Chain A
Amino acid sequence: MAKAPKPRRIQTLSKAPTGIAGLDAVTQGGLPRGRPTLVSGRAGCGKTVLGLEFVVRGAVEFEEPGLIVSFEESAEELTANVRSLGFDLDDLCARKKLAVEFVSVERHEIEETGDYNLDGLFVRLGHAIDSLGAKRMLLDTIEALFAGLTNLGILRAELRRLFRWLKSKGVTVVLTGEQGEGAFTRQGLEEYVSDCVISLDVKLAHHVATRTLRVVKYRGSSHSPDEYPFLITDRGVTVMPITSLGLAHEASSERISSGSAAVDELLGGKGFFRGSTVLVSGAAGTGKTSAAAYLANSACKRGEKCMYFAFEESPQQLIRNMRSIGIDLAPFVKKGLLRVEATRPSLFGLESHLAASLNAVNEFDPAVVIVDPITDFVSLGSTYEVRSMMTRLVDHLKSRGITALMTSLDSTNASKSEEEVGVSSLIDTWIVAELVEVAGERNRAISVLKSRGMPHSNQIREFLLGPRGLELVPVYRGPGGFLSGSARRAQQTADDATSSTGNGS
């Protein structure tokens, strides 16, 4: 009797994880295993770095020995390049995890005198693959052959044979290619590599460069066709998936103090939800940075780590200024609980900022993140771009359960509902600080515009910033309406006088 056929699971394409942050998400698992992937882009786009990292990470993280075939750089130059990614090539080569094959093609030495093939190259690659047991390979860049050999008929036929042969060996290959006019590569390498094509680019906006990566083609697999920004840092390549993580994050009901009894009082006496996103907006000089410092201070006092992104002040300046309201952050910096990352917003492009910030957050793993202020990003991109970046930042922080406080500079007092960067819908708790101009003085007033999931005060409260910190002034709610500053004091004196007169009669 014949056995009933087993239900067979449909074999999906096997993938080789790259280990490059973000790229595996974009390619949904990595590059096609045992097949070639073309990485194309103009000069200086990061093709070689991407390929090197794929091979090196394969050797270090996935137990897949790799062969680096360089047509342009000698082993010494490669070692230096790989070291800039934080890997020791010499050590990896000594441990038989990597091998470097330098293929030199010197046009001026070569004369073609008849029929030939590329068996010499095949033998060298075959020997290197076999003696290492290589599973991954970088060909950087095979276009050099076109510069050295003139018989295109032979060359193209041999390249086709080379990629068929590499497939039969089951090696996952990354080959780089210079972008050509109207084609992915100048020499039409995509003709030989039909499995996966990744295109790299550098875009300039407002004189700031942003690297982008796009998976143009991925045969037999779904992939995101979008363009993603990426960074090359001293820890290699980081690709930033634009798609946000959605709204699936955990919502904590734990409350943490804002660090200021006054602000806590406005928020039902308990402070912020842990993991929520707080916006403090207001005109210049309303005490936004002070509110941020309060939160940092209270987090560090609890022994939690806090990351402070300062875009307007240097760490020293910030610490000095906060001493004036009675907050000393210096000991926390020393203890490693507080890290102040101070950069000018114009240092990188918007996407690079995001990537750099997220990298820093992932590495430091803080409980509280402060961005002071977010308004500075507006100068770097359109409202849409800034909003998209902020969404991803907020989503990322929420998914990690990090409480975030951002400050936003309003150009005028009146525009509190005009979202300067269009982020109000991302915000859980929105505190507005204002300057109220009455009788020739400006008084600071604070109110909670919204705070999701908690009862909060609806009053606009006057507050003072002094050596004792942020203090709410008792509200004057009398027949004179809402009064602040001298007017409040005058009214109070008047009221007192009236009541004492009343008593006396």
Chain B
Amino acid sequence: MNREARVRKTKASAGRKARKELYVLRLYVAGLTTRSRTAISNITSICEEHLQGRYDLEVIDVFQRPILAREEQIIATPTLVKKLPAPLRRLIGDLSERQKVLIGLDLRRLG
């Protein structure tokens, strides 16, 4: 079974909001556990609410991609890596503390 889920939304309308940055997010999980599902649903909801049309979210299962876990220096799971915009941030945990996630993603002023 392919545990890799991929949610990608890139909109043609991105040009209209050129001043808004594109968010590149990678969510590393360890298997499709309850905790993983919670994390996926939390980040999807935040993205849809705050970053509609300008985010690239990929969910990666470290069991499937151990080398990637090494390259990305993953220790805890789930870990959400904000690759862009800089600076790089790692949000670990199931992302259920919404305020902290917004702060970590620099989205609080928008919310």
Contact = CB atoms under 8 A, between A and B. Distances in A.
Interface of A: 101, 103-106, 109-124, 126-128, 145, 148-149
Interface of B: 28, 30-31, 35, 38-39, 42, 62-63, 66-67, 69-70, 73-80, 87-97, 100-101, 103-104
A122 B28 CA distance: 14
Contact of B90 (A109, A118, A119): A109
Contacts of A103: 73, 75
A116 B70 contact: no
Contact of B30 (A104, A106, A123, A149): A123
B63 A113 contact: no
Contacts of A128: 70
Per DSSP, are chain B's interface residues mostly helix, strand or loop, or mixed? mixed
Contact of A116 (B73, B77, B87, B89): B77
Nearest to B72: A120
11 contacts: A111-B92, A112-B92, A114-B42, A117-B30, A119-B31, A119-B77, A123-B63, A123-B69, A127-B67, A127-B69, A149-B76
Contacts of B70: 101, 124, 127-128
A149 B75 CA distance: 10
Contacts of A115: 35, 93-94, 96
Contacts of A101: 70
Given A111-B100, A145-B75, A120 B69 contact: yes
Nearest to A114: B93
A115 B91 CA distance: 11
Nearest to A108: B87
A126 to B, nearest CB: 8
B104 to A, nearest CB: 4
Given A103-B73, A111-B104, A123-B30, A116 B88 contact: no
Contacts of A106: 90
A113 B89 CA distance: 12
A120 B88 contact: no
Contacts of B30: 117, 119-120, 122-123
Nearest to A110: B90
Nearest to B76: A116
A113 B104 contact: yes
A126 B70 CA distance: 11
A121 B76 contact: yes
B91 to A, nearest CB: 5
Most A CB within 10 A of own CB, among B28, B39, B76, B80: B76
Given A120-B30, A124-B66, A124-B70, A114 B75 contact: no
